[in-house]
Chain A
Amino acid sequence: SYELTQPPSVSVSPGQTARITCSGDALPKKFAYWYQQKSGQAPVLVIYEDNKRPSEIPERFSGSSSGTMATLTISGAQVEDEADYYCHSTNRVFGGGTKLTVL
């Protein structure tokens, strides 16, 4: 079955750049999508089709994809960006999630 692999955790200081990766064999052919889930809240779409950002999402969020790896980048991470981040791709499969700590 198809799988997406994410690091369990990433930690940065406020103002630093956070990078969260997602690897999967289908990513060279399929788009990656990213969701942010803050504690006790519903997921929110932050990146779609590898690198597109919904209008309400801050510009510091960006996405890229190369080969079998997609990357979510948060440039100048803020304390309020602390959350779990999930990648998602074809066949309705989610990655295991990455806990981003900003402190």
Chain B
Amino acid sequence: EVKLVESGGGLVKPGGSLRLSCAASGFTFSTYNMNWVRQAPGKGLEWVSSIVTSTSYIYYTDSVKGRFTISRDNAKNSLYLQMNSLRAEDTGVYYCARGRDTAGGYYFDYWGQGTLVTVSS
């Protein structure tokens, strides 16, 4: 059974930092692209960042470039998101999602339960 468990969320002041983690199990982690997708309170889904299997390619949505860093440790079956210079608009639930990259497109086939990040003074 594929399982993704996020942790590391919490309350942080504007300008602060947080590091999110995602523990993966039930599949060969090193062979899949991984992603972070977030959801602001009462809003829709927003893709944040992706990292390919070998970490050779990393992608970010424009609003987090230069502030967030995605990484992975294939030996520990873990995905991370280092978030610096946090803003109020970064508030939301952050989901870890497994990516599938096919000839027809890229999609997210399994999701974790999410971890809540609240940026507020």
Contact = CB atoms under 8 A, between A and B. Distances in A.
Interface of B: 35, 37, 44-47, 50, 59, 61, 95, 97, 100, 102, 104-114
A93 B47 contact: yes
B112 A42 contact: yes
Given A42-B114, A92-B50, A49 B44 contact: no
A97 B109 CA distance: 18
A56 to B, nearest CB: 11
A92 B47 contact: yes
B44 A94 contact: yes
A42 to B, nearest CB: 4
Interface residues of A, number: 24
A103 interface: no
Interface of A: 30-31, 33, 35, 37, 41-45, 48-49, 54, 84, 86, 88-90, 92-97
A94 B111 contact: no
Contacts of A37: 45
8 contacts: A31-B104, A42-B112, A43-B111, A88-B45, A92-B35, A93-B47, A94-B44, A97-B45
A41 B50 CA distance: 22
